Each structure stands twice: as structure tokens, then as C-alpha cells.
Structure 1
Amino acid sequence: MLKNTMFGGGANVTSISANDNLVIKGNNLIALHSLKKRYAGKIKMIFIDPPYNTGADSFEYNDSFSRSAWLTFIKNRIEIANELLSEEGVLLVQISFHEYPYLRILLDTILNSGSGKHIFDMNVLVRHPERALTADKPFNDVMEYTLIYSKSLSYEMPKQIIEKTADKYVYKVTVGEKPNEVRQLGGKKVEVYLPENIHIEKVEPSKNNLHRETVRGSIREKNSSGRYYVANLEPLIGEYPPLTLFKVPGIGDDVLDYRYFELPKEGNKNGAYYQGMPQSSNVTKKPYPNFIDFVKSYNSANREGVYSFRNGKKPEALLAKYIEIFTKKNDIVLDFFMGSATTQAVAMKMNRQFIGIEQMDYINTVSVPRLQKVMEGEQGGISKDVNWQGGGSFVYAELMEKNQGYLNDLQKADTIPELMSVYERMKENADIDFRLDLAEFEKEIGQFTNLDERRRELIRILDKNQLYYNYANIDDDNVRDLLSESDYHFNKSFYGGDGE
């Protein structure tokens, strides 16, 4: 169940629309299940940057799980997150080398076993190879990895759309009035021009000129002109002088109705062909490489978004890259390890709808304030690139705590008297393990003089199935009394009047 809390001057709302951006504070596993009824099959892109499990314990999240505990932690969240993806949706998980191979196997097991598939892993250069952060490391760790999966087996990876320019069209080819020879080659009537009957000059770029392409590598097999050359003209090397031209009709998609092919010059083995600018489209589609250099962006990431978030903030340019590749305007983007809200800030600036989930208290000092600055028109990150002028809105809600509140207080207590004060409150309202004999427990708890040992025992007796209030109980008298009218109607709107 959710509480629609006023934040930073915002107003409580009594409903949520299909187009509202949403930020939720609370346990992300429970929050993901809360999203299922409303958003299942609707999310276009999920990007997460979970704890890397480095052993450094550099985040408020436990960053030093055992490997099995970390993998279980991830597995539980990925399984429900996958249900939220649309059929054309994609899941991206950023990770370091510490757990990369194990995460890849886990995600393959979860996502490839159904209808989804692994698309590729993006290798991200995040630090300069010559810049070591500390000299006592066994090697200089400069790469991170984004594992990318689709919801559907039929998903086709988008390609780069590159506008065609005339930059490489710099050749003019002039041949004599009559060919030196005409012959049939590959079912085509081909004119042959010997070198003394040819004039080729390099000029200023123009869409009316030709581009020279060498026939080598994949062009020999995957390009129709390359295949024609290999099959019909390459065998003629030695029969004709080097640089002989062959004018072949009915090939290519440029303004010409022919293409010039050239035998290699003396000492070279690769021939070439001259083509005009293609006419079928004003853009070229190219596959994305599986490597990107974001060193410069990472170096300045902590200065983005006004609020500092050392060692955990992704650059806006990186998220913009992924959002541009995998989504369109108004698509929904989800990040349930929200952190400093980079994903949400970029989504807002790029006119995508977003959902963010974060359980740590810095959501109130970093994440949400950053989004408020974005709405005011802050000019960091990608703002100038996308001409961001401000605007937008989001709904902020918190999972309604039950035992979670006591758990938080136990974890924050610095002394045994503070712990026992929390315990006294727990006896009044918390859900405690029903099998527990309180009288016996209180005899035993006094024997623990170590703060952490006593904390562990008090946490143990809390019912972990009752960390938050369940929407199914919203109309129970003891729950209804805890809710304001606006919260009651907000939950009815969010869950559609029917909870899980």
C-alpha cells in the first residue's frame, strides 16, 4: 500500500493517471510487485545499476553480499521486472567485473529460458587506461558492462541512423567515347576501358561525384558489387592491365544506371568500384558497436544534477545513449535502483515517462531534489544537447511501512537502551513471530550484552512478511484509521480498486 506524501512543496493527490511519472520510496522488490497490476506489459525499457558486490561496502545498500546471496537478491527482482516489460521491451543491467560472468549466466537462465533473448553486452570504458585510482590494486579496472536482453525472441536490435553526406564523394571518372572492348560478364554487357582511355580526378565533395570503395573484407561476400567483382572481374587480373575499368550496367542504387569497377594497381591485390550517392534513402543504417568510450562523461558525472553522489552516479550521456537507442517519446522507462535519479532526470529531459524506486533515505536529499531542479530547468548533463527548458511533473509515494519502520529504527540504534526502546514500541504494534514466547525471549535477550548481537535477536523476531501494509487490508478498520482521505483514494486509483 502507498502513501502519497507531500514533498518539497508538492501537493497530495487523490489519483494517478496513465501518463504520470512516478517515484516510490521503499523496498524495491515489494514495490515491483505493487507495480505489476498497473504496469505489467507496459514498460519499454528497464535500466538498473545494482550494487556491484565489490566487497567495498561503499553504498548504504549492502555491497558485500556472499555471491549466492547477491545472485538471489538480483534473481528475485529480475523475475518480477521481466513481467513488467512490453513485448518490445528491453532490460539493461550495468555491472563491474566482480559479478559480471555470474550475472550473465543468471540472466541467461531467467530470460533466455522463456521467450526472451540476450541481445549483446555493451563494453563501457569508464576510466582512462593510464589513470589508476589506487596503486595497490592488482590491475587497473577501467571497464563496466551493460548486459542487454529483450522480452521477445522476435526483437530486432535497432540500428544507428546516420544521415548521408557528400563528404566521401570526391571522384570524377571520365572515359573515352568508345570502349576498348565489350564483353559478356556475369550475364551483363560490360564495357572495358584500358588505362590510357580513362581520366580520374579527385575534386571537392559533391553529391554528384563518385565514391571509391575497395573490394576487401566483408565487402567481398556481403555486398552485391563486391560479389560481382569477385566472381566476374577478379579472375581477369593479368588478362588486362592494372587499373583497367569495367562499366557494368544495372547494378547499385545510385543516380547512375551503371557502376565502374577497377582492377588493382601494380603490386596491390584488391580492386575497387566507384559508386554515386545512393538514392533509395537519405540515411544509412549501421549496427551499433558493442564498445563505447564514456571516460570524459564519467569524469564529470558527479558535477551533474546539482547534488553530489560520489562513486554511484552514472553520467546523463550514458543513459541518454541507451534511451535514444531503445525507446521513443512517451515510452515508459523504469529504474528500480534509482540512486541519484540519473535515469529519471534523462527520461524527463528526453520526453519519456519514468518510474523510479529507491529505498534509501537519500531519495529525499538527492534523488527527488534533483528531479525538482530538472523541472526548474537546470542546465547540467544533456540539457543543452536536448534544449531542455524545464517543465514536467511526477507523483511521489512511499510504501506504507509496518514492521519496516521498526526494522529501520533497530538498524539505526547506537546503544542498547535505544534498542530496547524500539522493542517496547514493537510489543505494542509490531507483528512479531507468533511462535515466540515473549516472557522467555525477554529473559534471554538480557544475556546479550553486545549491541550487534542484541540487535540481531530483535530483528529476528520481527515478522518479515509484514514489513509493509498490504493493499488487500485497506478497508480493515485498523488500517483505514491510519490513512488520510487522499491516501485512501490514491490507493484505490493506483490499484484500480482491486489489490493483490
Structure 2
Amino acid sequence: NKPADTFAYNSNFKLSSWLVFMKNRLEVAKDLMAEKGIIYITISSEGAHYLKVLADSVFDMDNFIADITWQSRKSVSSDSLISTSTNHVLVYAKNKNAINKNEFRLFLDVDGFNLNDDDGRGPYKVEPFDAPNIRKNLEYIIENPNTGQGYRPPEGRHWRTTEEDYKELLADNRIRFGARGLTKPQLKVYLKDAQDQSKGKAATTLWNNVVPDSVDSIIWDGTGTTTNGTKHQQSLFGRVVFENPKPEDLVSRAIQLATDEGDLVLDFFMGSATTQAVAMKMNRQFIGVEQMDYIETVSVPRLKKVIEGEQGGISKAMDWQGGGSFVYAELQNLNMEYIELIQQAGNDDDLLKIIDQMKQTAYLNFQTDIEKITNEDSEFTKLPISDKKALLIEVLDINQLYLNYSEIDDIKFNVSEAVKKFNHSFYKKVGEEL
């Protein structure tokens, strides 16, 4: 329930209306998700806890994965008692039991595998051979073969394997003591083995940033801030066209965890097309849905720039060189056209013209009599223009906002043969050549 919209979207809902709005969409999202599907919902603190309870009821509490804290800004504001610098990212599965945790991993940091013994096994990195806690069967003396000196685990810790397994690792040249006889044994982790076992490391519930805001940053372990997203946007359009856009690094991390190449990503609040741009650069299929007009001035033009090979966001990390394609389609308006006219009306005269058109061609709610409601003697004439607009929209049949596919051949809608062919292909109508 914000006092004003911070970007060109309908965010000014009362709480109860907003919860119903979200419930309807989350239920549809759940139906569309694959059995191993994941949904991410980014939201500020004002609504996060209401949404968590709602999402628990839609997806079931057992399918809740995490409430991630994303550092969405670095600057400190003095306008409030405590400066807000984070957003919530609620993460749910359709069926958490269907997800293999070894697949739900971030990309490997290939640059970290920077050691090589030239033994044919390829690059590797080292990890400590000790682990937290104390287990008696994992406490034994390890002798450094370079110095002959024996070592026990550090206080409060034990070795990672039994002594028998350690000896096998040592004989297989998978233990490293380091140059100049470093005291602690280290375990060699080869890049090939890590790639075979999983994508990489597990994510945590804190997604923050480790480098200064920069549109030209190379591979890094941060998720970016809205400042990163804004700078990227400025590089694309020469100006700010969408307030507080999400950075590509944030979306990239979400897609890394939940999908493989070729998987399908759906974003039904498309906005400035960040999700679709990232999906394209990461070789995923995507669907974007948007109801606001900026889809034609921001979303679609951005994806065209991605195809052309723009180098912002994650392009360098993904070695993006351009290419790919997408299809852009719009729903054909019926009553939605009248809603748009009503919303744009500036005075009573404009509304009177729209009412005349509605009487001729609009699909009206059968429970209302527009003649009776809008005649010269009715209370309608005394209402402020905002109430008149609301009442006229209620008169329209909401089930006829757009033209149904079943009516595509009705000659009164004058649908072109090219549009018919595209729709038959899209819906895979039996008997049509696809």
C-alpha cells in the first residue's frame, strides 16, 4: 500500500486487494510449473511477511526453500529511522522432494582451480583437510612426508576422513602439504571431478555484493544492486527508462540454481525484460508477460539489443556474442479497448462519446442496464469523473476483455489470414501445418 508508484506499474493496491491479486497469479504459476520447478518472488519488507503466509498456503509450507536477503542498494538514506538496503527473495518449489540438491548449485568458480601438477588430471584447487567438531575415529597423527613432522587436527576439529581413507588419498597424490612444508594437509579437488559431481557450491540466504557498482564488471561473486541495473539500462537507452531495475547478476544466480541449458523460464511481470535477457544469454528458453505499454518501448527493444550482442550485465561472464530470436505477440482487444479509452478520458464529454460507443459494440455485463445507469436523470451525472470511470468499467463484461481463440473465424472481428495462421500454429490446431 505505497503512497505513490515508484515505477510505471500498478503497485498502489490496498492490502486485501493486493493479496487476492497475488493469490490468483501464484495459483496459476503453480499450475504452470514443472514438477521440479522453482519460483522466485522478489518483494520489499512492506509486503514480504504477508506474502510468505500467502505463498505457504498456495505452495505448501513443505515446499518453502528459503527467504533470501538481497542487498539491493549500497547507499544509506537519512530519510527514515533505519535505511532500507535489502529486499526479500522468497523461493518455493512445486515439489521440493523432486529436486536433487546436487543439481541445485551455483556455477563452479573455474578461476579458483588454479593449481596444476602436470600429472594428466588437470587443474585443481585445495581445501582444508580438517573439519569442525570432534570425532575420535577421525583423530590421528598425519605425517608430513616432506619434513617427517606429525600433526594432529586443530583444536575443536577432526580430519575429514578415516586414517585408512587418508592413506589411500595420499597414495593417489590427492593430498598436498604445499611448498616449503606447510603444516596442514590440504585436499586436492580437481575441476573435472567437481564438474562431474555438481554445478558447484551451495548458495546461501545472503546475496550481497563484493565489488563496486560497475556496468563493465567481469565475473564476480556478487548479485548486483539496482544501481548496477540502472547503469546497464543507461548504457542501453542513454537514459533511465525504468526505475529500480533488477541487475542481471541477481537473475543469473536464480537461473543458475534452478535450471539447466534449454530449460524454460517464465516471468509474468516482465518489466524491463531483465529475466528474458539473462535467459537468452544463458541459453534458456523464456516466456515474458507484460500488460503495460512500455513492453513496446523498453522490453522488446532491449531484447533486440541482446540479439545484437550488447555487452552489459552478464555478457562478459557468459561470453555473450549475440544471436538468438524471440516472438512478440499481443492479445487482441475487445472490452480492454474500452477500459483503456475510459482510463484515458479527460472530461465528461470524452466519457459521453465512449458511452455511445459502448452501447453500440461493447460486451456488457448482463446484470446491468447501461441505459438506465447513464441517463440524464440518474445519479451517474452527479458523480466525480473518477467514480464515473470506475462504474463504466464495472459495466463491461470482464470475460470479454480479449478476443477468444474460438471466435477467430467470426467475420465481424476481421482477423487477417496471417494472424489466423500464427494462432493455429501457436495452439497446434489439429489438421494445420505447423
TM-score band w.r.t. shorter chain: 0.7 to 0.9
Show the counterpart of 2:407.
Answer: 473
Q: Give the Cα–Cα distance (whole angstroms) in 2 for the partners of residues 56 and 168 of structure 1.
A: 58
Q: TM-score, normalised by structure 1?
A: 0.68
Show the counterpart of 1:455.
Answer: 389
How high is the sequence identity, in percent, across the aligned residues? 35
C-alpha spacing 1:273/1:360, structure 2 compared with 1 (3 Å): same
- More deviation in 303-312 or 321-330? 303-312
Residues 94-124 of structure 1: CA deviation (Å, up to 9, x unaligned) = 11111111111111111127xx711112211
Query: Does structure 2 conserve the Cα–Cα contact (< 8 Å) formed by 1:255 and 1:276?
Result: no
Q: Give the Cα–Cα distance (whole angstroms) in 2 for the partners of residues 259 and 333 of structure 1.
A: 40
**1:126 maps onto 2:61 in alignment:** no
Helix, strand or coil at the partner of 1:472: helix
C-alpha spacing 1:244/1:280, structure 2 compared with 1 (3 Å): same
Q: Which residue identity is paired with 1:428?
A: Q
Query: Does structure 2 conserve the Cα–Cα contact (< 8 Å) formed by 1:251 and 1:258?
Result: no
Query: Does structure 1 conserve the Cα–Cα contact (< 8 Å) formed by 2:229 and 2:248?
Result: yes
Show the counterpart of 1:216.
Answer: 132
Q: Give the Cα–Cα distance (whole angstroms) in 2 for the partners of residues 211 and 446 of structure 1.
A: 75
Q: Give the Cα–Cα distance (whole angstroms) in 1 for the partners of residues 126 and 246 of structure 2.
A: 43
Q: Which residue identity is paired with 2:93?
A: S
Q: Give the Cα–Cα distance (whole angstroms) in 2 for the partners of residues 453 and 361 of structure 1.
A: 24
Show the counterpart of 2:20.
Answer: 72
Residues 417-466 of structure 1: CA deviation (Å, up to 9, x unaligned) = 11222212111110112233343222226522522122222222111121
Q: Rg: which structure is higher?
A: 1
Q: How does 1:111-190 map to 2 (within 5 A)?
A: 111-112=59-60, 117-128=63-74, 131-133=75-77, 135-152=78-95, 153-157=97-101, 158-160=104-106, 161-162=108-109, 165=113
Which one has a larger percent helix, Structure 1 or Structure 2? 2
**1:404 maps onto 2:336 in alignment:** yes
**1:274 maps onto 2:185 in alignment:** yes
Q: Which residue identity is paired with 1:151?
A: K
How many residues are matched? 379
Q: Give the Cα–Cα distance (whole angstroms) in 2 for the partners of residues 397 and 360 of structure 1.
A: 14
Q: Give the Cα–Cα distance (whole angstroms) in 1 for the partners of residues 347 and 258 of structure 2.
A: 50
Among residues 209, 231, 235, which one is paired with 1:303 in the alignment?
231
C-alpha spacing 1:252/1:465, structure 2 compared with 1 (3 Å): farther
Helix, strand or coil at the partner of 2:171: coil
Q: Give the Cα–Cα distance (whole angstroms) in 2 for the partners of residues 421 and 368 of structure 1.
A: 33
Q: Give the Cα–Cα distance (whole angstroms) in 1 for the partners of residues 69 and 281 of structure 2.
A: 25
**1:287 maps onto 2:235 in alignment:** no
Q: Which residue identity is paired with 2:201?
A: K
Mark the runs of 5 or more structure 1 residues left unpaired by the alignment: 1-52, 170-205, 221-225, 234-241, 261-271
Query: Does structure 2 conserve the Cα–Cα contact (< 8 Å) formed by 1:348 and 1:392?
Result: yes
Between the two structures, name the one with larger relative contact order (CA 8 Å, sep ≥ 6). 1
Instruction: Give 1:274 shift.
Output: 2.6
Residues 158-198 of structure 1: CA deviation (Å, up to 9, x unaligned) = 134455747699xxxxxxxxxxxxxxxxxxxxxxxxxxxxx
**1:323 maps onto 2:255 in alignment:** yes
Query: Does structure 2 conserve the Cα–Cα contact (< 8 Å) formed by 1:207 and 1:276?
Result: no
Q: Which residue identity is paired with 1:302?
A: T
C-alpha spacing 1:389/1:76, structure 2 compared with 1 (3 Å): same
Q: CA RMSD in A?
A: 3.4
Q: Which residue identity is paired with 2:206?
A: F
C-alpha spacing 1:427/1:287, structure 2 compared with 1 (3 Å): same
Show the counterpart of 1:39.
Answer: none
Residues 279-312 of structure 1: CA deviation (Å, up to 9, x unaligned) = 7963285321111114833222112241333434
Residues 315-335 of structure 1: CA deviation (Å, up to 9, x unaligned) = 111111111222121111111
Q: Give the Cα–Cα distance (whole angstroms) in 1 for the partners of residues 264 and 410 of structure 2.
A: 34
C-alpha spacing 1:342/1:253, structure 2 compared with 1 (3 Å): farther
Q: Give the Cα–Cα distance (whole angstroms) in 1 for the partners of residues 90 and 229 of structure 2.
A: 21
Q: Which residue identity is paired with 2:33?
A: L
Query: Does structure 2 conserve the Cα–Cα contact (< 8 Å) formed by 1:125 and 1:293?
Result: yes
C-alpha spacing 1:256/1:338, structure 2 compared with 1 (3 Å): same
Query: Does structure 2 conserve the Cα–Cα contact (< 8 Å) formed by 1:55 and 1:65?
Result: no
Q: Which residue identity is paired with 2:374?
A: E
Which one has a larger percent strand, Structure 1 or Structure 2? 1
Q: Give the Cα–Cα distance (whole angstroms) in 2 for the partners of residues 350 and 283 of structure 1.
A: 20
Q: Give the Cα–Cα distance (whole angstroms) in 2 for the partners of residues 229 and 407 of structure 1.
A: 72
Show the counterpart of 2:179.
Answer: none
Q: Which residue identity is paired with 2:5?
A: D
**1:359 maps onto 2:359 in alignment:** no
Among residues 424, 431, 434, which one is paired with 1:492 in the alignment?
424
